[in-house]
Structure 1
Amino acid sequence: MILHSNVIGEGNPFIILHGFLGMGDNWKTLARKFSESNFQVHLVDQRNHGRSFHSDEFDYELLAEDLKNYCESKRMSEIILLGHSMGGKTAMLFASKHPDLVKKLIVADISPRYYPVHHNIILEGLSQLDFSFVKTRLEADRVLEEYVPQIGVRQFLLKNLYWVHKGELGLRINLKVLKENVSEVGEALPPHAIFEKDTLFLRGDRSEYIMENDEMLIKRQFPNSQIITINNSGHWLHAENPQEFYVTVVNFLLIN
């Protein structure tokens, strides 16, 4: 099966991979901006997310294989590949496995290392959304608020709501499988996974996902990489400071 995508613009192929519990549409505003610089932007929903297919299997090898199938279906080569968080891990693995297909790689606020599971409270909150009783987005927000006090995070999560049919809400994510496989999200990139082409790592100045002691590992597996900090931003750096994020990415892409 081929991943769902929203394609914006014309020009050089540029694929964006969202993070855990996200979807390609989260990037629509930035995609329109990138398309103005002669890029055809593909906002891809990874398996068990957005409008893409659901599967009982979920790990980075499969996510990278899904992306390979997507590129083949679109007859794309020499892509620009950007991934955020979980999408960044997928992008790193894909680039290391298929360096001939990736012209430049951008990784947003994630390093190749292992991360312990830290989504349990969010997943529990989403599990409490009983849509036989929850009939509006406001009601869903009130349920989630007991587990996720940050309004910005709740707004991000509630983008997964959709109308299954009139009067009944549902979640686009495959919540059951994602809960069962949440430990896969933090898995480290294999140590033999190396990508030697131009790579840009972006980190938020208020985020702890890329720390100073990650830099040696990043350089070992991505020897032609640079790490740039986006100001006034945390883990969702592309949403918190989109202008600086956009300018930094475009400057990187337009060099050479």
Structure 2
Amino acid sequence: MKLNYKIQGKGQPIILLHGLFGNLDNLSILARAFMDDYQIIQVDLRNHGLSPWSDEMNYSLMADDILQLVDALALNDIILVGHSMGGKVAMRLTECISSSIANLIVLDIAPVSYASDSHTNVFKALNTCIASGITDRNAIQNMMNQYLSVPTTQFLLKSYKNEGWLFNFKAIEQHYEEIRGWQEIPPYRQPVLFIRGSKSNYMRDEYQTDILAQFPYATVETVEGANHNVHYEKPQHVINLIRDWITS
């Protein structure tokens, strides 16, 4: 699949991969921080943003989409940064292009399967809005706030443009078991940086065994006071961690 992407800057490539229900703008804080020294490639994953929609969605396919982009742009010596679902795509890429990866940074996600109710309220909110047929942004916001926190509603509305959603909700809902799930991969025997928020449930201490089984040279850094969107809540801390990691 030919994905939508945006390139800024020159130098060693950094590919930024967003999370579920997001788009390539979600990691713009990181893009702006590194674009003076690196070539920044922000990508809309399949069924998100301006990339094509598909009835199929799993991590093998999403990794293959990125592999096609890497080949098309003739990229090498790549720094991969992925948040949440994008972090799982980045981890899956270690099976495909390990020799082309210079650094891997995973933001607040572990190589594990998560509980099936992780996004229950998000699905309820979106199903209610879509079924209502309402297109007014303010009305949708009020309706979603009945199910979700204000920050979560604001995040989702970043993908509401021209009276429509930029993500393929039907495909996401249909393949949610695969998206929340994970198939264990062979050990990737290179250093990997995991950055987690201290308030997040996505990188629990008990996942350390799973992380080290697949990424035996992993380093886990905790950002105090941050939740799942660690790069958004504590941007300078995350930027400093990434910069120190890729320049050491």
- TM category (shorter chain) comes to over 0.9
Q: Could you say which residue in structure 2 is the equivalent of 1:225?
A: 218
Q: Which segments of structure 1 move beyond 6 Å, counting only runs of 4 or more?
A: none
How far apart, in 1, do the equivalents of 2:60 and 2:219 lie? 25
How far apart, in 1, do the equivalents of 2:243 and 2:137 lie? 36
1:131/1:121 Cα in 2 relative to 1: closer, same or farther (>3 Å)?
A: closer
Equivalences for residues 59-74 of structure 1 within 5 A: 59-74=58-73
Q: Could you say which residue in structure 1 is the equivalent of 2:16?
A: 16
Equivalences for residues 44-83 of structure 1 within 5 A: 44-83=43-82
CA RMSD, Structure 1 to Structure 2 (Å): 1.5
1:201 aligned onto 2:194: yes
Could you tell me which amino acid in structure 1 is paired with residue 237 of structure 2?
E
- Provide the identity percentage: 32
Give the deviation of 1:127 after TM superposition: 2.1
How far apart, in 2, do the equivalents of 1:208 and 1:130 lie? 28
How far apart, in 1, do the equivalents of 2:188 and 2:237 lie? 26
1:243 aligned onto 2:236: yes
Could you tell me which amino acid in structure 2 is paired with residue 113 of structure 1?
V
**Aligned 8 A contact 1:31 1:41 in 2:** yes
Instruction: String of CA shifts for 1:10-59, please: whole Å, max 9, x gaps.
Output: 111000111111111111122011113x1111111110011100000000
Q: Could you say which residue in structure 2 is the equivalent of 1:94?
A: 93
Instruction: String of CA shifts for 1:130-158, please: whole Å, max 9, x gaps.
Output: 4985343211101111111x111100000
How far apart, in 2, do the equivalents of 1:225 and 1:34 lie? 23
How far apart, in 2, do the equivalents of 1:18 and 1:253 lie? 19
**Aligned 8 A contact 1:17 1:45 in 2:** yes
1:181 aligned onto 2:180: no
How far apart, in 1, do the equivalents of 2:10 and 2:131 lie? 40
In structure 2, runs of 5+ residues without a counterpart are: none
**Aligned 8 A contact 1:12 1:39 in 2:** yes
Give the deviation of 1:179 after TM superposition: 0.8
How far apart, in 2, do the equivalents of 1:91 and 1:196 lie? 15
**Aligned 8 A contact 1:96 1:194 in 2:** no
Pick which of 101-110 and 27-36 moved more.
27-36
**Aligned 8 A contact 1:196 1:222 in 2:** yes
